[in-house]
Chains A and B, each alone.
Chain A
Amino acid sequence: MCGIVGLFLKDKSLEPKLGELLSEMLISLTDRGPDSAGIAIYGSGREGSAKITVQSPHPERDFVGLDGALEKAIGQNVDLTVKSTHAVIEVPAAKLDAAREALTQLRPDLRIMGSGDVIEIFKEVGLPKDVVERFNLTKMTGTHGIGHTRMATESAVTTMGAHPFSTGSDECLVHNGSLSNHNNVRRELIRAGMKFETENDTEVAAAYLSHRIAGGDDLGQALEHSLDDLDGFYTFVVGTKDGFGVLRDPIACKPAVLAETDQYVAFGSEYRALANLPGIENAKVWEPEPSKVYFWEH
Chain B
Amino acid sequence: MPTVDLAKSTLRDLNQALHSIPEGSNETSWEVLNPKGSHAVAVGVDKPVSVDVRGSVGYYCGGMNNAGTITVHGSAGPGVGENMMSGTIVVKGDASQYAGATGRGGLLVIEGNASSRCGISMKGINIVVHGSIGHMSAFMAQSGTLVVLGDAGDALGDSIYEAKIFVRGKVKSLGADCVKKKMHPKHIERLQKLLDAAGVKDVKPEEFTRYGSSRTLYNFNIDNAEAY
Which A residues fall within an 8 A CB radius of B? 252-253, 255, 257, 270-276, 285-287, 290
Contact = CB atoms under 8 A, between A and B. Distances in A.
A202 to B, nearest CB: 22
A270 B97 contact: no
Given A252-B135, A270-B77, A285-B94, 13 more contacts: A252-B116, A252-B134, A271-B36, A271-B56, A271-B75, A275-B37, A276-B36, A285-B56, A285-B75, A286-B94, A287-B94, A290-B116, A290-B134
A290 B97 CA distance: 12
Interface of B: 36-38, 56, 58-59, 75, 77-78, 94, 96-97, 115-116, 134-135
Given A252-B116, A286-B94, A290-B116, A272 B78 contact: no
B74 to A, nearest CB: 9
Contact of A290 (B56, B58, B135): B135
A272 B55 CA distance: 11
Given A270-B58, A272-B58, A290-B116, A255 B36 contact: no
Contact of A255 (B56, B78, B134): B78
Contacts of A273: 37
Contacts of B37: 270-275
B77 A271 contact: yes
Contacts of B75: 271, 285
A287 B116 CA distance: 10
A287 B36 contact: no
A272 B97 contact: no
Given A252-B116, A255-B77, A285-B75, A271 B94 contact: no
Contacts of B59: 270
A140 to B, nearest CB: 25
A253 B97 contact: yes
A275 B56 contact: yes
A272 B36 contact: yes
Interface centre among A271, A274, A290 (most CB of B within 10 A): A271
Contacts of A271: 36-37, 56, 58, 75, 77
Contact of B97 (A255, A275, A285): A255
A252 B116 CA distance: 8
